């Protein structure tokens, strides 16, 4: 009996962890301050609380901002400037003073979760600064441990994508030879302390360097032909996944594949100079909106499936004093009057599930329903799902708690999103194409309390069993259970163990 209680307790702990990990938000934002027209920190804190943003990255450690975020439960990333590295590296007391000034007065009321020691230091032409990076990180870590915050607040540093010597195909990702010696010690530090490898992937710059139409669609998570990694046979449907997986491969090549990846910056400029390609509100909205939808789907990347990396979008506001081309001053998701620059689905109301059991809203049409074609791959459907949810349709019903969330798999969610987009469009055949992965049917795909608008109410419900009722996904020829199936399997295993112990 005692063993039964023990195993049951373990089960409860596991279920608690399983639920909390799946409820965790992976969406953060960069809060830059190179501007003279920013709203007060208190107003920004209220703005953030009205969104689904759960983490904020600061480039420094502005006490007014850190204090304004107290009690909000928003995770805060703070930074030690590159100019601080010499003293932090050479004098442990300087690290102690830094923690005493920038952490202890605010923590834990202000939820500081990570300290970035330096920003893109490896790109510096000063070899002394590069050599001081690891000692500075180690001293900051020791200062945290001295006040019992080691492990509670992580220590890392931010890298540019240029630390990679090769990123195409993703499976061949590797660090540039000139950086490997210095990175080895840093990666060992990250592994020993459980801290993340922090990097700035920017599909925006990838498109700038290769401004073909097919590259733009690939970078914006829009329907495209995809790009096949010839080493693995994996077809990538967006640049973000390809870049993140290249980083994962580079870590693996150095023996550190278990080190977590955090995306410190990624975003898209909404305007630019005449000679800058791809800068527009439409492209910025498409990239950021589709990225957010992709992260919320928790499908992960091909090499790291089933989880979303913590991602900090650049940026919260435009920074009107930043030097360089016009695009540098045009990455803001919000205007400084606190209104949205464009809607990417960050408002809490736009991300909440529809749990009322009501029919999801949408125009009724007599032309039928738009559903995935037989043979469409998971990768293709995920790309279509990301794109459709980035076009302003209501994807709340397929978010956790929504009436169409279960079964929780890509095929089911893509079917719903495809149809919602089709019903709100002009309903031409081209509106149900999705790179030739969708088709119009006269058979109603609705099931249980999940009602697909369209078709004038005709047709028989429940015919899309492959997409709606299956609890498994086919990925690269293998059947992969979704989260619900995995949980059921684990529950069954626990109960069987308890039964055998009692026998």
Of the residues 265, 276, 328, 379, only one is catalytic, namely: 265
Contacts for 259 with CB less than 8 Å, ≥ 6 apart: 187, 190, 191, 195, 196, 197, 251
How do the domains of the chain map onto residue ranges? 23-349, 354-487
- C-alpha angle 137/141/146, rounded to 5°? 150
23-349 CATH fold: TIM Barrel (3.20.20)
In the prediction, which pLDDT does 82 show?
A: 96
User: With a cut of 70, which residues of the chain have pLDDT below it?
Assistant: 1-25, 349-366, 455-503
Q: Which of 24, 120, 214, 328 is catalytic?
A: 120
DSSP 392: T
Q: At what angle do helices 281-297 and 378-389 cross, to 10 degrees?
A: 130
Q: Count other C-beta atoms under 10 Å from residue 449's C-beta.
A: 12
CA distance 56 to 113: 10
Tens digits of per-residue pLDDT, 439-485? 998 888 988 888 888 865 444 444 443 454 444 444 443 334 444 44
Closest CA to 453 of 366, 363, 327: 363
3-state secondary structure 131-167: HHHHHHHHHHHHHHHHCCCECCEEEEEEEEHHHEEEC
Instruction: List, in order, residues 6 or more apart from 367 with CB less than 8 Å away.
Output: 427, 440, 454, 455
End-to-end CA distance of the chain: 10
Q: So what's the pLDDT on residue 503? A: 52
Element (H, E) at 286: helix 281-297
Sign of CA dihedral 263, 187, 78, 35: negative
Whether 120 is a known active-site residue: answer yes
Residue 372: in which H helix or E strand, if any? strand 369-372
Instruction: Check residue 24 and give its pLDDT.
Output: 38
The reported pLDDT for the residue numbered 81 is 97
pLDDT tens column, 391-422? 778 888 888 888 898 899 999 999 999 999 99
């Amino acid at each position: 009996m005692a063993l039964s209680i023990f195993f049951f307790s373990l089960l409860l702990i596991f279920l608690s962890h399983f639920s909390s990990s799946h409820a965790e938000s992976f969406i953060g934002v960069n809060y830059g301050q190179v501007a003279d027209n920013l709203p007060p920190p208190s107003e920004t804190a209220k703005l953030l609380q009205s969104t689904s943003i759960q983490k904020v990255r600061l480039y420094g450690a502005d006490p007014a901002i850190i204090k304004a975020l107290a009690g909000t439960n928003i995770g805060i990333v703070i930074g030690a400037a590159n100019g601080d590295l010499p003293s932090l590296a050479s004098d442990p007391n300087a690290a102690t003073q830094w923690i005493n000034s920038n952490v202890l007065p605010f923590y834990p009321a202000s939820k500081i979760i990570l300290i970035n020691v330096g920003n893109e230091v490896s790109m510096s032409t000063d070899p002394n600064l590069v050599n001081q990076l690891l000692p500075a990180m180690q001293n900051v870590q020791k200062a945290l441990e001295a006040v019992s915050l080691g492990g509670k607040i992580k220590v890392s540093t931010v890298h540019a994508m240029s630390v990679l010597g090769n990123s195409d195909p993703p499976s061949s990702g590797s660090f540039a030879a000139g950086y490997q010696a210095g990175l080895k010690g840093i990666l060992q530090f990250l592994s020993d302390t459980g801290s993340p490898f922090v990097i700035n992937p920017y599909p925006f710059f990838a498109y700038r360097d290769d401004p073909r139409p097919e590259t733009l669609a690939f970078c914006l998570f829009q329907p495209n032909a995809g790009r096949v990694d010839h080493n693995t046979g994996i077809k990538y449907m967006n640049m973000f996944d390809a870049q993140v997986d290249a980083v994962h491969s580079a870590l693996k090549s150095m023996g550190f594949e278990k080190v977590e990846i955090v995306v410190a910056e990624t975003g898209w400029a909404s305007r630019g100079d005449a000679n800058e390609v791809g800068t527009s509100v439409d492209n910025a909205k498409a990239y950021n909106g589709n990225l957010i939808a992709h992260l919320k789907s928790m499908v992960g990347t091909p090499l790291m499936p089933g989880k979303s990396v913590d991602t900090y979008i650049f940026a919260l506001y435009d920074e009107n004093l930043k030097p360089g081309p016009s695009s540098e001053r045009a990455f803001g998701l919000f205007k400084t009057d606190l209104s949205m620059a464009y809607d990417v689905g960050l408002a809490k109301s736009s991300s909440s599930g529809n749990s009322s059991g009501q029919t999801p809203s949408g125009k009724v049409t007599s032309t039928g329903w738009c559903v995935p074609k037989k043979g469409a791959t998971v990768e293709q459907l995920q790309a279509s799902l990301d794109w459709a949810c980035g076009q302003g349709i209501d994807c709340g019903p397929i978010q956790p708690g929504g009436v169409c969330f279960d079964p929780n798999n890509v095929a089911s969610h893509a079917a719903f999103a495809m149809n919602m987009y089709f019903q709100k469009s002009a309903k031409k055949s081209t509106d149900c194409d999705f790179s030739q992965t969708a088709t119009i049917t006269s058979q109603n795909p609705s099931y249980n309390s999940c009602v697909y608008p369209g078709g004038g109410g005709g047709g028989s419900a429940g015919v899309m069993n492959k997409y709606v009722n299956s609890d498994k996904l086919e990925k690269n020829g293998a059947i992969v259970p979704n989260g619900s199936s995995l949980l059921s399997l684990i529950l069954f295993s626990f109960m069987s163990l308890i039964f055998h112990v009692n026998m």
